[in-house]
Structure 1
Amino acid sequence: MDHDGGLTGPSTGGRRRRWTAALAVVVALALLASAFRLPVGGAAPAHAPEAVRAAEPDLRITGFAPDSYDPAESADVGTAATLAQLYEGLTAFDPSLTVRPALARDWQVDADGRRIVFRLRDGLTFSDGSPLAAGDVVRSWLRVIRPDRPSPLASLLADVEGALDYLTGRESDPETVGIRALDRERVEVRFRTPASYFLAAAASPTLAVVPPGIETGASMRPGTFVGSGGYVLAAAGDTALTLEANARYWAGPPALGRIEMITDLAGESPVTRFEDGLLDYTGIASYDASWIGWDRDLGASLRAVPSLTVEYYGFDTTRPPFDDARVRRAFALAVDWRRLATLAGSDYEAANSLVPPGIPGRSNADFLPPHDPDEAQRLLADAGFPGGAGFPDVALQTGGNAFDAAVRESFREELGVTLRAEVLDDFFARLYSDDPPLLWHLGWIADYPHPQDFLGLLLGGGQVTNYGRWSDPDYDAALTRAAEATDPAAQRAAYDDAERIVRDQVPIVPVAYSAGWALSREGLLGADPAGIGIIRFAGLAWDR
């Protein structure tokens, strides 16, 4: 899923301030845990009135107020982290990133990897008690690829048989899509190509199961919210969301009955809020982490937060000048990307692959284009722009990030090319428009921990999230070999072939992997940094 290069956390002033540090809140959040339930900060004082104790949340945590409570309409990590509490998918991840059953109790995968049958748990219901059946799964997933209003992450279903034809309007009958209910308990998914990754993809918040009332918006209203996840939305204010445990959750009622998500800090520092006892978990910036690590009081609460995230620059490969691979490669070789990432700060680690560390099956090989200004200048001259002469007017368009100024300076110094800089408020909309940026920066956070989520969704031919519209038959063939492979070594070799093509053709350049920092209250179980960076509130509890 997309992010535009900074802190995913609550606003400190306006509703959505431009991000300033790497994924420090949402990415700080971990996966599953189970333990005992206690109120925030321990038991309430014995003299506290019962009504006061009941009004107190069990947890206060920073988070995002989504633009929409519809999973099919979400694409950013902040929204996904919130919706993951309200809706559930067929599968989930444990802290080791192993796929586990969620709404599905089990599944069968055909030997050729082109068909999966999920079997739902007995007695599933939505939070209002209405039954949740296989038909609800089919309806929820078809909404992701509806032609009139497709999801930003419709690519998650791109390998499903008939999905692309339905998505693009070449086929109007949803019955032609390879998703169907065999009966009330079983969902069959057929694929046009082997899809060994799909059990992991099914855990994405975008593919969560939603109730029928979502079509009219009736099920998304605070106080009468209907979902399939561990919590329901009880209230939504200007500065916080209140979530209450779903008593009908498939895994049983969550340990924490009431959670307050702070979405606007009103200009205050999250560190100050944490020190004052007004937050139990919050992401923080690296400059705060640098001193907190040495602080006698706060140091024990500091958590380093890994993230399955890559920052990259991309080119529109269908329009001049970047339709010429020589130009793209010249731009890639002109920049010392490793030095750039190092100088950007402790939030970043230099990238050597589009697939970030921590993804199972990731290669250890180095696929980053080398820093070679002489070769860059030669390639640009061969493409008809010696010393940058005659190069067209091009803007580097982003949502704002830590790298743009240094990248533009490298292009000017090494290639003689001066680019305009444009920070776009409608950056994501432009990526999907008929007039996308020629050169842009983006961050991608794993929807599911598999190389396919990066190599397939970002660069596969015909994928909605292949923003540069690049296509290479050898690359797509390598992805197919990877999907067909049953041996992990063979799959890795196929993905290595794909990454070598990316390194040489340069549709994108991976720049850095980002991480972050958080403060976590002592005794909060299940908040250790792990997994894909989205906490499952249903797995949190207090321990004394």
Structure 2
Amino acid sequence: MFLFPAVFVFADNPAGRWASSSAGSLVDNLVNSHSGSKADGKDSEKDEFVIAFSPGSFSLDPLHLYTTVGLQIATGIYEGLVTYNPFTMEPIPGTAERWTISDDGLTYKFYLRDDSVYSNGAPVTAEDFRDSWLRMLEPGNKAEYSFLFDIIEGAADYRKGKISDPDKVGIKAVSDKELDVELNKPASHFLKVLCHTSFVPLYKKYTEDKNWNGSGVVIGNGPFLLYKRTKDEIVLKKNMLYWDKKNVKMDIIKILFSDDVKEISREFNRGEIQWADDWDSDLIKDTSKIVAHPLFGTTYFFFVSNKSPWNNYRVRRGLALLIPWETLRKDNSILPTATLVPSIPGYPKIDGITKRNDKEAMSLLKDAGYPDGKGLPPIIFKISDSSGTSKIVKAMTDMWEKKLSADVRVEKYPYKEYLKELKKDDYTLGSATWIGDFADPLTFLQLWMSGGNLNDAKFSNKNYDEIIEKSYSEKGIKRYKSLSEAEKMLLNGAVVLPLSNPPSCNLIDLESVGGWFPNPLNIHPLKYLYYKTMTLPPGIAMVK
């Protein structure tokens, strides 16, 4: 997922096994063991939780949900076949109470809960899942995450317009409560992917609504329903028709959109805001409530690679080798990296561009027909005006201007507009931070496949695509080795220039708030939030 304000979120189920709702017992225990009245004495019958997020443009239409804020809010409104365990991020039963997997790993049969309904009372059916998934795959809809479906038989050809018959896609509604999914290859990561919001069902009569981004009604099947939406606020209310409403402890979740970090900090200190993603550290009375942890994410620069001369790896790599990466990364990031995929146990160690090499850089540019950079078109660098990369970009552009006969330009955009700007191809380099949507290298490497709607680099390489597709049917170390070969192509060809693995920082009091767990995906399902009961020592009483 893309992280605001920059442009940008483990166990396998063996074939033949099935999971039931009992798999969520850990979550139930975590919720039930600590739920109760709020420590500040507020009425526990009407619990309200207030979140302050940085403002930014996002949609509540699953077709175009790809930012951290939008995906976070969606965890309250929608629910897929499986959902995230809030502690481990493993898939657990959601709208599907159980499933089976064929011995060959190709056929998944999902059985929906009888009591799963939408917020308007209409039943959730297998046909709804099929129609919603096909909507994601319609070529004209240009859903950013449509590539996630490619492991399903016929899905890639359907979204690319190579076939038009939806019956040739391996998604079958066998009955109202059974959905069968046929894969084109065994995929041990398939259940992890299904946690993503792209796989939620939509109420059939609502899918043609054009007011997804306005103040209109959103009909979902999740633990909360959308009660109010303005440009400054979203209010969610507990969905009393939700199948697991007994484990939803909050009656109201209010999401405020503000960039006034001083006021956010003051309201947090007063207990009026419970969770924030931006604040003024100097104003926070108790800094232990600032929760920082590593993210499964990477901040990087990328070349738009679909036009000459930027589609020539010699030009990209030549420019990249003029940059003093070792110093630049060390001086401007907490966790510097030269690779795209963050550290994963068992994943091969590979090297990206780590040092400046003027001799090789000039040789590559000369071989490409641009000696000393002469003849290169303007190098246009697009960045967000609040991404924190300005200093780094200046160092890069200064070096190119010093070493080359080249015209270098930097264009800054408000981050509300930046994501849209990156969809264009009228620039040379952009900046992005990507947070993996599941804990697997594929979530970083699928982005760069030919024709992908999130492939802002417009990179296209047949060999790269073949390696990724081959990895779908591989397992373990062999699979990781294939994926690392694909990553090497991106790094050695300087399509991607990694900078750092960013930490996640949130302002939240985990002594009083439960159900919120630091995790590398930075996804915190709203369903599990609750206020912990304050336990006082023997002989001590609370005086109101």
State the TM-score bracket (shorter-chain normalisation).
Answer: 0.7 to 0.9
1:279 aligns with 2:273: yes
Q: What is the number of equivalent residue pairs in this alignment?
A: 502
User: Contact 1:309–1:446 (CA<8 Å) still a contact in 2?
Assistant: yes
* 2:329 aligned to which of 336, 341, 349: 341
1:506 aligns with 2:494: yes
Q: Which of 437-446 and 368-377 deviates more?
A: 368-377
State the alpha-carbon separation in 1 of the partners of residues 42 and 420 from structure 2: 48
Alignment partner, residue 170 of structure 2: 178
User: Contact 1:376–1:415 (CA<8 Å) still a contact in 2?
Assistant: no
1:261 aligns with 2:255: yes
Counting only pairs closer than 5 Å after superposition, residues 396-415 of structure 1 correspond to structure 2 as: 396-400=381-385, 401=387, 402=389, 403-415=392-404
CA gap 1:535/1:66 in 2 versus in 1, 3 angstroms: farther
| Cα deviation, residue 184, structure 1 | 2.0
User: Contact 2:4–2:68 (CA<8 Å) still a contact in 1?
Assistant: no
| Cα deviation, residue 127, structure 1 | 2.2
User: Contact 1:201–1:448 (CA<8 Å) still a contact in 2?
Assistant: yes
Alignment partner, residue 246 of structure 1: 239
State the alpha-carbon separation in 2 of the partners of residues 422 and 77 from structure 1: 24
State the alpha-carbon separation in 2 of the partners of residues 225 and 466 from structure 1: 29
Alignment partner, residue 439 of structure 1: 429
Where structure 1 has 5 or more consecutive residues not aligned to the other structure, the ranges are: 9-30, 46-52
CA gap 1:267/1:480 in 2 versus in 1, 3 angstroms: closer
User: Contact 1:502–1:508 (CA<8 Å) still a contact in 2?
Assistant: yes
User: Contact 2:58–2:69 (CA<8 Å) still a contact in 1?
Assistant: no
CA offsets per residue over residues 272-294 of structure 1, 9 Å max, x none? Answer: 22112221111236xx55x68xx
Alignment partner, residue 129 of structure 1: 121
1:70 aligns with 2:54: no
Find the residue that maps to 1:284 and give its secondary structure.
coil
1:90 is aligned with what amino acid? Answer: L
Counting only pairs closer than 5 Å after superposition, residues 242-391 of structure 1 correspond to structure 2 as: 242-253=235-246, 254-264=248-258, 268-284=262-278, 288-289=280-281, 297-346=285-334, 349-357=335-343, 362-391=347-376
Q: Which of 408-417 and 83-92 deviates more?
A: 408-417
Residue identity over aligned pairs, in percent, reads 24
State the alpha-carbon separation in 2 of the partners of residues 131 and 197 from structure 1: 29
User: Contact 1:310–1:356 (CA<8 Å) still a contact in 2?
Assistant: yes
Alignment partner, residue 468 of structure 2: 479
Q: Which of 33-42 and 141-150 deviates more?
A: 33-42
1:85 aligns with 2:73: no
Find the residue that maps to 2:141 and give its secondary structure.
coil
| Cα deviation, residue 454, structure 1 | 0.8
CA gap 1:199/1:345 in 2 versus in 1, 3 angstroms: same
Counting only pairs closer than 5 Å after superposition, residues 189-200 of structure 1 correspond to structure 2 as: 189-200=181-192
CA gap 1:483/1:172 in 2 versus in 1, 3 angstroms: closer
1:102 aligns with 2:94: yes
CA offsets per residue over residues 132-166 of structure 1, 9 Å max, x none? Answer: 11111111111112233221222222333332333
State the alpha-carbon separation in 1 of the partners of residues 91 and 149 from structure 2: 18
Find the residue that maps to 1:248 and give its secondary structure.
coil
| Cα deviation, residue 455, structure 1 | 0.8
1:209 aligns with 2:209: no
User: Contact 1:526–1:541 (CA<8 Å) still a contact in 2?
Assistant: yes
User: Contact 1:311–1:514 (CA<8 Å) still a contact in 2?
Assistant: yes
User: Contact 1:459–1:470 (CA<8 Å) still a contact in 2?
Assistant: yes
| Cα deviation, residue 430, structure 1 | 4.4
State the alpha-carbon separation in 1 of the partners of residues 231 and 453 from structure 2: 33
State the alpha-carbon separation in 2 of the partners of residues 40 and 437 from structure 1: 52
State the alpha-carbon separation in 1 of the partners of residues 319 and 185 from structure 2: 34
| Cα deviation, residue 87, structure 1 | 0.4
What is the root-mean-square deviation in Å for CA atoms of aligned residues? 3.0
| Cα deviation, residue 115, structure 1 | 3.6
1:526 aligns with 2:526: no
State the alpha-carbon separation in 1 of the partners of residues 531 and 113 from structure 2: 28
CA offsets per residue over residues 204-231 of structure 1, 9 Å max, x none? Answer: 1122222123224399797964211111
2:337 is aligned with what amino acid? Answer: A
User: Contact 2:379–2:406 (CA<8 Å) still a contact in 1?
Assistant: no
| Cα deviation, residue 369, structure 1 | 4.7
CA gap 1:79/1:224 in 2 versus in 1, 3 angstroms: closer
Alignment partner, residue 469 of structure 1: 458
Q: TM-score, normalised by structure 1?
A: 0.83
2:67 is aligned with what amino acid? Answer: D
| Cα deviation, residue 351, structure 1 | 2.0
Alignment partner, residue 42 of structure 1: 40
| Cα deviation, residue 318, structure 1 | 2.6
Find the residue that maps to 2:310 and give its secondary structure.
coil
User: Contact 2:143–2:453 (CA<8 Å) still a contact in 1?
Assistant: no
1:2 aligns with 2:2: yes
CA gap 1:43/1:265 in 2 versus in 1, 3 angstroms: farther
